[in-house]
Chains A and B, each alone.
Chain A
Amino acid sequence: MTAFILRRLMALPLVLLALSLAIVGLMQTLSPAERAAAFVTNENQLRNLEAIIREKGLDQPFHVQYWNWLREVLQGNLGFSKASNKPVIDTIIERFPATVELTLFSLLPILGFGIWLGTRAGLNKDRFIDQFTRVFTVVTNNIPTFVLGIILLVIFYGLLGVAPGPGQLSPENQVNLIINPVPRVTGMLSIDALLAGNWPVFWDVLHHMFLPVITLSTVITAGMIKVMRSSLIEVLSQDYVRTARAKGLPERTVNLKHARRNALIPVATIGGFVVLGLLSGALFTETIFAWPGIGSWGAETATRFDVPGLLGFALLSGILTVLANLAVDIIYALIDPRVRFD
């Protein structure tokens, strides 16, 4: 097991190396002046593009430029992000917890509602609840995240006025936060406010998180429901389930203890898909709802030609994807004794 994990982790630097080569390679299609524009943060620098080109060695051959970049990165310097006006590393440390926060809260509907409705539909195949679920998943699966976010805002913020607009806090609680600062423990504002006992801020953040969480989780929940349903239907047709019924176990025990436990195994395999979905979804959700996480920052680095920021964001998402897939494989082996590492 340890050997397997180490082998997989060893692939990580290679993957990141390939990505960085590709990005620095793509940069070569631009002229040195265009590349220098990525480092421009004020007007004075714009007049002095030549100096930037010389200083950063942007007119050097590809391998020299790549080596310069790699040397900086290995020293922990990922560069300066124009989009956040901070070094890339600091930006990630500052903004990543907010994305984790949104993601964690999104797991509640994905796991809770997804598994619950998938189970109900699977147990009642072709009855009303199953038909309803089918229509529900077809509809929710097909609304792109960015469209859903706008629709939810139009309905719940614009029309009904029950949900707050974009942002993490309403104005009065922004003032509240300045008067009673919440110490940064986890970096997730809701948790930190809870730890500090600042109830108004805590409730306000939860209130503001409602629409983004629905936006982020809907598509993934639909996938979860579909996998849960089909997996449960497959398990229910197996011999051991019939045996359990034949020996007189109550229906509830058969369904929930015998069948659902095994039906959950394939669900674990879509864990990687869930993480990928959350990561790409965060780009749009955070942009629409002005959530201060890495998603909205990533989108901004892309629109503002903030190359160091974009690289940092891409490297981070690569690391997260590789780790998520590794975690899925480990979990899979832990819950399914038939799987063995070779």
Chain B
Amino acid sequence: MSAVPATQSAARRDTFWNSRVMRRFRRNRLAVFGFFLVCMFLLVALFAPLLAPPPPVGNNCLRDVGATTTAEALTPTHSGFWRLMFAAPASCYQIARINFTQVPSPPLKPIATEAGEVRPVFGTSNGYDVWYGIIWGTRTALKLAITVVFFQLLIGITLGAISGYFGGWVDNVIQRLIDVIFAFPSLILVIVITSLLGKSLNFIILAFVLVGWAGYARIVRGEVLKTRSLEFVDGARALGASDWRIIFRHVIPNSLTAITVIAVLDLGAIPLSAAALSFLGIGLPTGYTDWGQLISFARAWIQGTAENRLEYWYVAFYPALTIILFGLGWNLLGDALRDALDPRER
């Protein structure tokens, strides 16, 4: 198809990095900051085992990857290292519990354990290592967000496309179902579902997917209704393309721009909602590496002591900062994408 001779300068101009959308994106300094934050969280999640190595005491992570010492588990020649990096067992997602002292211990203060002295970087609260919770919590957050958005898109795009393309009673049934989902604040629906099903990451994923696909389906349906009547679709049909081929090859790709922005914003919003749930004590089991739980530990220590009102500042500070930066990063990125993709601003 590319029979047009491309000069060198034209070739450079046509790269993704130099496209109009990317140029506008790069000019926006807030967007670049948001992108930087998001990349930082992705790296933290990827290298969680190196940043917060599985401790000798506190959880069963080391045992479950078949290592006896932390150093052994971090040796790339040991099979446990690769399991930690790409298939960490469930026990690694338990916040390392250094001891059972309720009172928080400040950052870097040495604590004696049966496996020697440890210095938790962000201190402990309820005996849990806050640093470990935040670092591995990043993995939980991103795992949750990516899985949920993937399934939401899968269901939302499919049902939205079917609804818009075929119309009739199929459309009617799907749209009434969406009406019902929209009739409740989504967070409250998620709370109802997770509290009935029980505490587990999979149930949280299920709840968010059940509630969240409807928004995508509405948008895709609208886009499909617009695209369906365009001439190239008639052309494809005249050439003998089947309904499914038209939907997947022609109609859906044309609707993707509209949902990209929402998907990005959702990637940032879902972990925050999940954190909010576990703050209330719904959703994730106690001790699971998750930011909301770390905040809920802080509730008991907001007042400090009579001598020092800021005695326990670190208990709330680090988890709150993490949550705020995470939300900020994805939101700046999403907003910038919306501006960059908005055809009205050309």
Contacts and interface: CB of A to CB of B under 8 A. Distances in A.
A30 B275 CA distance: 25
Contacts of A314: 184, 188-189, 192
Given A147-B320, A154-B313, A19 B184 contact: yes
Given A143-B327, A144-B323, A158-B309, A283 B188 contact: yes
A14 B176 CA distance: 10
A44 interface: no
B328 to A, nearest CB: 5
Summarize A's interface: helix, strand, loop or mixed: helix
A305 B320 CA distance: 28
A154 B304 CA distance: 9
A2 to B, nearest CB: 22
Residue among B188, B194, B320 with max Cβ neighbours from chain A (10 Å) = B188
Interface residues of A, number: 49
A280 B186 CA distance: 9
A19 B327 contact: no
Interface stretch (B67-75, B137-145, B276-284): B276-284
B279 A146 contact: yes
B201 interface: no
Nearest to A325: B183
A79 interface: no
A158 B187 contact: no
Nearest to B311: A158
Question: How large, as a class, is the contact surface on chain B?
Answer: 35 or more
A302 B195 contact: yes
A65 interface: no
Contacts of B328: 138-139, 142
B331 A142 contact: yes
Contact of A29 (B179, B197, B272, B280): B197
A19 B184 CA distance: 9
Interface stretch (A112-120, A197-205, A255-263, A315-323): A315-323
Given A26-B196, A303-B281, A314-B188, A11 B179 contact: yes
A142 B310 contact: no
Contacts of A288: 299
Interface in A118-167: 138-139, 141-147, 150-151, 153-154, 157-159, 161, 165
Contact of B309 (A23, A142, A161): A161
Residue among B180, B192, B327 with max Cβ neighbours from chain A (10 Å) = B192
A279 B188 contact: yes
Given A138-B331, A142-B331, A284-B279, A147 B324 contact: yes
Nearest to A146: B279
Contacts of B179: 11, 15
Nearest to B276: A146
B295 interface: yes
Contacts, number: 121
A26 B299 contact: no
B316 interface: yes
B191 A283 contact: yes
A23 B184 CA distance: 13
Interface string B264-282: 0000000010011001111
A165 B196 contact: no
A131 B325 CA distance: 20
A219 B331 CA distance: 13
B225 interface: no
A165 B299 CA distance: 11
Interface in A288-317: 288, 298-299, 301-303, 305, 307, 310, 313-314, 317
B192 A23 contact: yes
Given A151-B316, A283-B191, A142 B299 contact: no
Contact of A287 (B188, B280, B310): B280
A280 B185 contact: yes
Nearest to A161: B309
A18 interface: yes
A27 interface: yes
B282 A150 contact: no
13 contacts: A23-B196, A138-B30, A146-B279, A147-B295, A150-B295, A157-B303, A283-B188, A298-B191, A302-B191, A303-B281, A303-B282, A310-B192, A310-B195
Interface of A: 11, 14-15, 18-19, 23, 26-27, 29-30, 138-139, 141-147, 150-151, 153-154, 157-159, 161, 165, 276, 279-280, 283-284, 287-288, 298-299, 301-303, 305, 307, 310, 313-314, 317-318, 321-322
Given A142-B324, A302-B191, A317-B188, 5 more contacts: A29-B197, A143-B327, A283-B188, A298-B191, A301-B195
